[in-house]
Structure 1
Amino acid sequence: MESIIGQAGRRFAATVRDFCRDDRGVAAVEFALILPMFLLLTVGTIDVAALLYGRAALEAGARAASRKGLTGSTPNPAINRTNGASLTDITNEVKRYARGFFDITDSSRFKIYSRVIPNYTAIPEICRRFEANGTTCLPANFNDENGNGAYDGAAADSTGCTGQIVYYEISYDWTPYTPLVSYVMNGGQPIRLQAVAVVRNEPWVAAGSC
């Protein structure tokens, strides 16, 4: 007579054999394994596309702002311009391109700088955050171009006077839509998108200071 253990062993072997041959639910298992990677790839593609679009929007805004600054804000070319475009004009030009993608109302993330520089190769020191007095800039808040440890840049933006060279910089601290993608791209920190344009103002009839 066959032992109980032998019968149980055969039944167990048959069960394992049937289980291995049964392919029901394989598609569901494969889908469950692939879905997370597919979603990550899809969202990552969207984030990369948004990153590229954001950079393109800032570059277009920088070009428009610098064009506005060098030509001025007078719409009629027959009228002699007496001063350059205002900072409000420059800001509005940038916002035309940035609106809808960037939070242009968040001044801590959306920055527009314009500085008069002596030549095309000069890089101005720009303070990212002034202290409460409006003039003191701590070393961690500016790019120390001459290495003297002190902030030597202007305390305020300027679109320059006739014939002057002006440096325009637009930046935005953008956060990817997906936390995991944000971590992979920049350690979970916002990514700074930046565009720069350097132009020489066209000559115009100067009226007082500008």
Structure 2
Amino acid sequence: MTALRTCTTLVRDLGRDESGVTVVEFALIAPTFLLLLLGTLDIGQMVYAQSVLNGAVQTAARDASLEGGDTAAADAMVLEQISGVMPGVELNTSRTSYYDFADIERAEQWNDADDNGICNDGEAFVDENRNGQWDDDIGVSGNGGANDVVIYEVEATYTSPFRVPFMREAWGARTLSSSAIKKNQPFANQSGYSSEAGTCS
């Protein structure tokens, strides 16, 4: 009977003992807390990186729109500004120029005899951008000339500095992109489009 009473007392005492409960609670809460903390830091870093990239791209596009603008120096400036925010960043840049804003993503003029939206089957076209073929986007690669409209696009690929637990797919390379549209200064006469004809095969 004494042994039973001792066991009952022991169980009662253990039920009232709260020492060590903090360790158990921490073990239950810590993974969720770390997930939220690192996830918040990761998203915050990505938003900040996007903001820095947007600002750098706008500045670079503006600098390149001036007479004698150096596109290589503008790209290098973008890389310099974002390299401190995006570890191991790699840039991929492109510039496409147009005669006017209305020409952005416009196809070269052609006689769409079969009404299929594609220049083919001997249909005649005007080689407005002078590259010897029909294009569904009249834009010319490069920074263009005086008074041309230029779309400057940048893709920045980097690895996130934060390793969010349970989200290994987010640990790899991440790509952010930004673009700016600027009109070059009118430092000379703007060259117009060609009127040379061609035929689609």
Q: Give the structure-1-normalised TM-score.
A: 0.63
**Alpha-carbon shift at residue 90 of structure 1 (Å):** 1.8
Q: Provide the secondary structure at the position in 1 that maps to 2:7.
A: helix
After superposition, the C-alpha distances for 1:151-197 in whole angstroms (9 at most, x for unaligned) are 9779x95111001111111111233333436938x655533211110
Partner of 2:84: 100
Matched, 1:114 2:98: no
Identical pairs, percent: 25
After superposition, the C-alpha distances for 1:4-59 in whole angstroms (9 at most, x for unaligned) are xxx55444333222111001112222223222222222222211111011101110
Counterpart amino acid of 2:57?
A
- Preserved contact between residue 168 and residue 196 of structure 1 (Cα < 8 Å): yes
* 1:29-178 equivalent positions in 2, closer than 5 A: 29-72=24-67, 84-103=68-87, 109-120=90-101, 122-123=104-105, 158-178=142-162
Please identify which structure carries the higher strand content: 2
Shift of the 50–159 alpha-carbon distance from structure 1 to 2, 3 Å rule, reads same
Question: Take 1:34 and 1:153, find their aligned partners in 2: how far apart are those partners?
Answer: 55
- Preserved contact between residue 166 and residue 201 of structure 1 (Cα < 8 Å): yes
Unaligned runs of 5+ in 1: 73-83, 125-145
Shift of the 45–168 alpha-carbon distance from structure 1 to 2, 3 Å rule, reads same
Question: Take 1:87 and 1:172, find their aligned partners in 2: how far apart are those partners?
Answer: 17
**Alpha-carbon shift at residue 70 of structure 1 (Å):** 1.3
Counterpart amino acid of 1:51?
M
- Aligned counterpart in structure 2 of residue 200 of structure 1, from 162, 183, 190: 183
Partner of 2:23: 28
Counterpart amino acid of 2:36?
L
**Alpha-carbon shift at residue 99 of structure 1 (Å):** 2.8
- Preserved contact between residue 94 and residue 154 of structure 2 (Cα < 8 Å): yes
Question: Take 1:97 and 1:57, find their aligned partners in 2: how far apart are those partners?
Answer: 7
Question: Take 1:47 and 1:123, find their aligned partners in 2: how far apart are those partners?
Answer: 35
Shift of the 101–33 alpha-carbon distance from structure 1 to 2, 3 Å rule, reads same
- Preserved contact between residue 161 and residue 201 of structure 1 (Cα < 8 Å): yes
Question: Take 1:164 and 1:182, find their aligned partners in 2: how far apart are those partners?
Answer: 49
Question: Take 1:94 and 1:153, find their aligned partners in 2: how far apart are those partners?
Answer: 27
Question: Take 2:95 and 2:166, find their aligned partners in 1: how far apart are those partners?
Answer: 30
Q: Give the structure-2-normalised TM-score.
A: 0.65
Question: Take 1:201 and 1:19, find their aligned partners in 2: how far apart are those partners?
Answer: 80
- Preserved contact between residue 87 and residue 161 of structure 2 (Cα < 8 Å): no
Shift of the 96–176 alpha-carbon distance from structure 1 to 2, 3 Å rule, reads closer
Question: Take 1:166 and 1:123, find their aligned partners in 2: how far apart are those partners?
Answer: 12
Counterpart amino acid of 1:204?
F
Aligned residues: 164
**Alpha-carbon shift at residue 203 of structure 1 (Å):** 0.8
After superposition, the C-alpha distances for 1:88-136 in whole angstroms (9 at most, x for unaligned) are 12212312421312356x5xx4212111135436359xxxxxxxxxxxx
